[in-house]
Chain A
Amino acid sequence: MAPEPPLLTMSGITKSFPGVRALDGVDLDVQAGEVHCLLGQNGAGKSTLIKVLAGAHQPDGGTIGWRGEPVTLRSPIAAMRLGIATIYQELDLVEGLSVAENVHLGHEPTAAGFVVRGKAAKASTAQLLRRLGHPEIDPARLVGELSAAQQQIVSMARALSHDVRLIVMDEPSAALDPDEVDNLFRIVGDLTADGVAVVYISHRLEEIRRIGDRVTVLKDGRAVAGGLPAKSTPTREVVALMTGRNVEYVFPERPTRGPSSEPVLRVQGLARAGEFEPLDLELRPGEIVGLAGLVGSGRSEILETIYGARKPTAGQVSVDGRTLRTGSVRAAVRAGLGLAPEERKAQALLMLESVTRNVSVSSMSRFSRGGWIDRGAERGAARAATRELSLRPDNPSVPIRTLSGGNQQKAVLARWLLRGCRVLLLDEPTRGVDVGARAELYAVIRRLADEGLAVLLVSSEVPEVLGLADRVLVLREGRVVHTAPARELDEHRVLDLVMEGSPAS
C-alpha cells in the first residue's frame, strides 16, 4: 500500500438506470502522481463511472473519499472545485467562441467583478498552450476553425486552467495521429511529475503499457481487477479479464481459394480535385480490400465519393457493369452499395430511435405496400438481421443509444444486410469498439464476404487492414502508392509506405 492516503477512493459505487444496472459496486483508488488506466468493454460502466467522478451523475450507493475525507460530488462544479477535471471523448467546446474564451469559460478573469479582462485571459491561455506543447494555437482563434487534435489540446488547457489535482481523460488518443499521441504522453508525464493524478481510459493496450502505472478493469459494472501493474501484467490476462475469454486481436481465416468471378464494383479514374488523385479499383464478390493510410490521406473521401455522398471531379463508378450516376447516394444504394461511415453517431444512427428502425431505415419499401408499413414483418426482419450478427441485447426494440459502440456498428451492418447490399464500404469499422467486440466484428465482416459480399475497408489501424483484408491499397496524400496482397505486407512496410511514399526495401 502507498504510505500516504490515496488521492481518491471510490468504494462500492452503484448506479442504476431503468432496466440497467450500470455500476454494481465499483471500487477505485487513485494515488497522486500516477496514471491509473481504466479498461473495459463498451457498456462495462466506464462512462458512468467517470460521470459519477465528474459530478454529472449521482451514485445510488457507495462512498467517495478525497484525500482521506468523505465527499459528495453534487454537481460538475463541485467536482471542479475539488480539483477534478474531465476531458470527455466528445469535446464540449463552444465552437463560436475563441480559444481563450473557451479555456476560461465560467471562470473568466475579471476586473471589478464583471468586466472580462480579455488580455489576461489570452496571456494565461497562451501560457497553458505552451505548457501543452502547442504554442502555435492562437488564443484569439475561434475553436470551430481548429482541427480535432487542436480542439483536444484546448480542452486539456481548459482542464488545466483550474487548480487541478486529478484529470480524467476519456479516450484522448482516439482522434490523434501518432506524433500527436507522443505529445499527449509527454503532457501526461509532465502532469504526473507535478503530482497530478490521471485517470486514463483507452482501448489501446499498447498505450496503457507505455504510460500507465496501474490498471483497473471493469466488466459488467464491476471492477474485476483493481490496481494491476500496467507494465507487467500480461496482455492475455488483461484481455481475459475484460472479455472473460482468452482472445486477443483474432482475425478470421482467409478463404483458401481466391475470388474468381467478375468484379461487382469497378472504379475508373475516380478523383476529387484537392482530395485524391484518379483511382482505379476493382472489387470482386467475396473479397475484402483494405485502404491503408494516415488521417488526411483521402481514405474517407474516396469511400464517400464511391458512395455518391461526394461528387467526383472525374471518373466513374460502376456496379455489375452499369455506370452509376455520380454524386447520388440513392443511385449507389439502389445498385447495392452500403456505407458504414466513420462517425457513426453523426452519420449513420438515428439516436432517438429503436434498433429496429435503425436497421430497417434503408429497406422500408420491403415491409410496406403503398407506403403502409407492416410492422410485424419489419420487426421480424430486423430481428433476423441482428441475430445473424449476434447483436446484443437480443431485443431490437431497445433504443439504439443504449447499445455499446460495437453493437451500434453491428446495427449499421444489419441495415445493409437487410437491404441485401452487395458492396459494403466500411470506414473505421472498429472505432470506439473494444478489443473483445472487435474480434467478433472481424469475424462478421469475413463471414459476410464469404457469403458473397465485396468489402472495401478503411482503417487507420494497420494491423486491422493487414489482418482482415485480402488485398491492400496504401494511400499517401490522396494517391495510391502501393497495391499488394495483404499476405505480402507487414506493418513496418506499410508504415514506411505511408510515411515515405516508397517501399524502403
Chain B
Amino acid sequence: MNAVNAGGWKPTMGETGESAVPQTASGDYGLMLEEALIFELGAKDKCGVDFEAVDRAPASGLSKFLRKSAPDLPGLTEPEAVRHYTRLSRQNYAIDLGPFPLGSCTMKHNPRLNETVARLPGFADVHPMQPQTTVQGALEVIEQLADWLIALTGMASVAMSPKAGAHGELCGLLCIRAALDARGETRDVVLVPESAHGTNPATAAFAGFKVQSIPATPDGRVDVAALKEKLGPNVAGVMITNPNTCGLFESELKTIADAVHAAGGYVYCDGANFNAIVGKVRPGDLGVDAMHINLHKTFSTPHGGGGPGAGPVVLSAALAPFAPLPFVTRGADGGIHLVEEENRGEGHSQAFGRMVAFHGQMGMFTRALTYILSHGADGLRQVAEDAVLNANYVLRTCEDVLPAPFAKSGPCMHEALFSEAGLAEGFSTLDIAKGLIDEGFHPMTVYFPLVVKGAMLIEPTETESKAGLDRFIASLRSLAERAKAGDQSLHSAPHFAPRRRLDETQAARKPVLVWQG
C-alpha cells in the first residue's frame, strides 16, 4: 500500500535498458541539482560584505609583518553564496526529511524553540571573560542544567566543560586518574567490553591507561565472571555502556560496580544511550562513578553534520572533588560564581586541571535546558518509554525476516540489533543499507557493534510516529526479502541518490584533501 504512488510509477534505471532520460546541457535534472566548488565559482576580488573605507596606513610596528597580497580565497556575493549553500544542502539527508535510525546516535527531532532561545543576544552575544556580574543569567543556565543532570542521574556533581562525548569520557577517566593519584596508587589498567564504542579504548589510551578487553556472553551482555577475574590491584576501573551497544540493559551493572569498588576501582559508564532510561533509571543508583551525557543525543541539540556536541560528565561523591575547572557555584551572597584557577584554593584544590579554554558548550547548554524544561520530569520519562517502545516495535515486526541475535533474551531497549545471517550468498548488510537510501531513508548503523557479524543497529528514537515507523519497516522488510532472493540490483544501490557508491579506496590511496585546481 502506497497512497503517495498508488499507480506504482517507477523511474527508469540507466543500466537496465534504454534510458528514457535525455542528457541535459546543464548536468542538472529538474530539482536534482549539481553544484560546483566555491573555487570554481568564486573569485578572490568578489565579496558579499560591504566595508567602511579605511583612510589610514597600518601602524608602523606592523609593517614588517604585513602580507604581500590578500589571501587566495574565493569570494561570492550574497545571492551567489546563498544559492551555493542552499543547492549543496539539498544533497544531504537529514532528520527533518525522514527517519534517521542510526543506532547509538539518537537522531531525534531538534525542536526549533531551542534554536530561537540559543540566539537570544543575552546568550549568543556574551563574551566568556566578561565580569561575572554581567553574566549571571548565563551562569544560571549552567547551574540549572547542572541541577537537572544531577537529579536525572542521581549523582553528586557534574563537570560541564567537556566539548563532546569522547571529551567527556576523557574527563571522567582523568577524574579517576586524579582520584587514584590522591590515594597514592598507580593503577594502570582499564577494562573495556569488546562491544564498546571505539572511543572507549581510544580515550583510555589517551588518558594513559592500558586497555584490557572483556568478552561478551552469548546473550550480548558483559561476561561478569570474566570481568571479576580480571579485577585486581592494577585495575583503575571499567568502562561500561549501559544500555549497551547491543541495545540491552546491563542487568548486572550493580553487581559489577560492587565488585569493582571492592577491588579498589571505579566505574565509568558511557552515557551515549542514556535516552533509553532517562527518567526511568538513575545511573547513580547502580554504582556508577562517572558518566558523560551527550547533550546532542538525549537532549536534542542538533548534530549539525558532525558536531558541535557537548559532553557534561556526572560524578559520584568519590570523584566529585577532582572535577576540572571551571565550574559554577552559588555563593553565600546568592550570586553565582565561577571557580577558576585563581580561586581553586577555596575548597577545590583537588580539581585535576582544565580541559577547554572557556566554560564549555554554552550554546548547547541553552538548547538542552530548553528541551529539558519543555519535557519536564514527566515528559522525559515518556521520552524513554516511547524510544524503547518504538525500538521493540521494529524488533518484533522484522525479526521474522532478519535474525535478531539477542532478541530471545528479552526485549531490547532503545535500539534493535539484527544480523546479516540468512541473506543470499554474496549479499550483506551493506546492500540493505544502500537499498534503504533508494527507499528514501537513512541507513541504520552498520557493522557495529563488532560482536555481531554484519550488524544492523536500528534506533528509531521517540520522535518517530507509528505511521512513519510502519513505512520504514515495510521498506526494511522488502529489502530483506530482496536480499534473500538474490536481487542483484541491490549490489549497485543506491540508484537514486545524488551520488552512486563512492570509491573510498581511491580516496584513501591517493588522498586529495584540498582543491587542486
Decide if A and B are genuine partners: no
